[in-house]
Amino acid sequence: MNLNSFTTTSLAAAALLASGATITHAGDVSGKITFYTHFGQFVDSGDWERWSSEFETKYPGTEVEILHVANFRKEMPTRIASGDYGDVLNVMDNLPPSEYAEFYLPLNDMSLAETHSFVDRYEVDGKIYGYVYGANAEAVVYNKAAFERAGIEGIPTTRTELFAACDKLKAEGIVPFQINMGAGWPMQQWDKAALLFAGDGSYYDAAVTDPAPFAAGKPYGEAMRFVRELFEAGCTERDYTANNWDESKMMLAAGEAAMWFLANWSIPQTIVAGEALEIEDVSGDLGMFPLPVDDSGDPAVLLWPDWALGVSAKSENPDTAKAWIEFLLTETDVANSAGFIPGDPRIAPEMPQLKALFSLDPRVIEAGTPSSEFKQAMADARLDFMSGTYIRDLVLAEDFDAAITTVNDRWSRAIAE
């Protein structure tokens, strides 16, 4: 992804988008499709109803049924295994790319193939299986008012400064750093953090040749130790068993909690939570800064594509399904509403926190595509990549070093097979 897409929009593309025009592919755009989505907030806001109505008006004779799946990564594999998984859905990010063709249709005939970002991430043997909603800047989201109450001047640029800020926040009765371990899925962030510790978006491929990537001093091992140290230092929330995701958004909005390591997508949800509490100017209280993984004073931001949309291999209306994806990603404000850097680089990102983050001129690491070999090794080692359970188990382990040894042993056997 070119960084120019953060701040500029081509004049020709802007005219295309403003006119409401779109390039439609050949085929019969008609009939009903079922769309499985993880975006529950757009059900509550009425946006899915609005966007589907606009689509149905554009294409008379179509119908889009929206089905929200709250825990997409855990629930959808069961639906997919049953063979009944609708027409449009996210491309499962823990599925080896070599298996995409079994569950999804190729989408090369869509105009997005020529314009969209991160297309190569979902391309296998020349066939494209997904188009991303947008990209995320994986960084620390923080509440400026909480920092001010704790007497923190400026954002932490080193690991030492981050832990010192946590101490000041604790002294004020503010939860310093929410990790949402009880919810589970937010722990996936520490899979991503390994790329920051490596300083390399292609690190996952290197890990496949390492029999002990979770050892101390290695990027994966350091990522696990970082979150473990946050937990042991009392920097995280007290309740680590219950799914308090919705509560955590309210706490961050209210300044009862100060930080989390998530991405720009989490900001709109926090703003909505704050508005429900009638907090004034939630957006103005929220900022972002790079996660300082060491004391170099040279933090980086990881660019990570969010979910990609694909068409089910079982779809009976594939042309309508493709038209829905193209419509969503080029003719609606779904990407900006979700807080993303839009996957279509012709659409400018609108979030002020993103602009402020990149005004710090951080190093930018673009996440590479995890290979089939890496994903298979994670599966064979019983490590739920991008789901968070194994990371939660490591953080809670009574003997962390022993738990790391066990994980390394499983990994070593997996890559040897």
Using the predicted structure, report yes or no on whether residue 116 has a pLDDT greater than 90: yes
Average per-residue pLDDT in the chain? 92
Judge if 285 and 394 occupy the same domain: yes
Where is pLDDT greater, at 1 or 115?
115
Judge if 214 and 76 occupy the same domain: no
pLDDT attached to residue 97: 87
Range of the structural domain that residue 17 is part of? 3-133+307-349
State the average pLDDT over residues 286-308. Answer: 96
User: pLDDT by residue (tens digit) across 379-410?
Assistant: 999 999 988 999 999 999 999 999 999 999 99
Closest CA to 139 of 349, 299, 369, 339: 299
Judge if 268 and 250 occupy the same domain: yes
Report the distance separating Cα 61 and Cα 30, nearest Å: 5
Judge if 242 and 339 occupy the same domain: no
Among 349, 374, 403, which residue terminates a domain?
349
Confidence class for position 9, pLDDT limits 50, 70, 90? very low
> Which residue, chain included where needed, has tokens 């997508």?
265
- Give the 3-state secondary structure of residue 60: coil
355 lies in a domain? Answer: no
Judge if 206 and 85 occupy the same domain: no
356 lies in a domain? Answer: no
Quote the distance between the C-alpha of residue 4 and its chain's center.
21
354 lies in a domain? Answer: no
pLDDT attached to residue 404: 98
User: pLDDT by residue (tens digit) across 118-135?
Assistant: 999 999 999 999 999 999
Report the distance separating Cα 112 and Cα 253, nearest Å: 36
Judge if 127 and 142 occupy the same domain: no
Judge if 206 and 259 occupy the same domain: yes
113 lies in a domain? Answer: yes
Note whether 301 and 357 are within 8 A (CB).
Answer: yes
pLDDT attached to residue 372: 84
pLDDT attached to residue 95: 85
Judge if 120 and 201 occupy the same domain: no
Kindly state the percentage of the chain with pLDDT values over 90.
86
Using the predicted structure, report yes or no on whether residue 1 has a pLDDT greater than 80: no
pLDDT attached to residue 371: 87
Judge if 26 and 125 occupy the same domain: yes
Report the distance separating Cα 292 and Cα 299, nearest Å: 5
AA identity, residue 162: L
Judge if 246 and 262 occupy the same domain: yes
Judge if 394 and 248 occupy the same domain: yes
Using the predicted structure, report yes or no on whether residue 136 has a pLDDT greater than 70: yes
Burial class from Cβ neighbours inside 10 Å (0-12, 13-18, 19+) for residue 41 reads middle
pLDDT attached to residue 73: 85
CATH number at residue 69: 3.40.190.10
- Output the CA angle 145-238-383, nearest 5 degrees: 110
Report the distance separating Cα 118 and Cα 131, nearest Å: 8
User: pLDDT by residue (tens digit) across 37-84?
Assistant: 999 999 999 999 999 999 999 999 999 999 999 889 889 999 999 999
How many domains, the chain?
2
33 lies in a domain? Answer: yes
Give Cα separations from 131 to 88, 221, 308, 349, 374 (angstroms): 11, 32, 5, 17, 22
Contacts of 336 (CB under 8 A, 6+ apart): 342, 347, 349, 350, 351
Where is pLDDT greater, at 90 or 2?
90
Note whether 194 and 168 are within 8 A (CB).
Answer: no
400 lies in a domain? Answer: yes
357 lies in a domain? Answer: no
Judge if 90 and 113 occupy the same domain: yes
Kindly state the percentage of the chain with pLDDT values over 70.
94
Where is pLDDT greater, at 7 or 39?
39
Q: What is the DSSP letter of 120?
A: G
Note whether 36 and 69 are within 8 A (CB).
Answer: yes
State the average pLDDT over residues 229-244. Answer: 95
Closest CA to 185 of 303, 70, 335, 44: 70
Using the predicted structure, report yes or no on whether residue 280 has a pLDDT greater than 60: yes
Confidence class for position 22, pLDDT limits 50, 70, 90? very low
State the average pLDDT over residues 254-266. Answer: 97
Report the distance separating Cα 110 and Cα 4, nearest Å: 24
Note whether 369 and 120 are within 8 A (CB).
Answer: yes
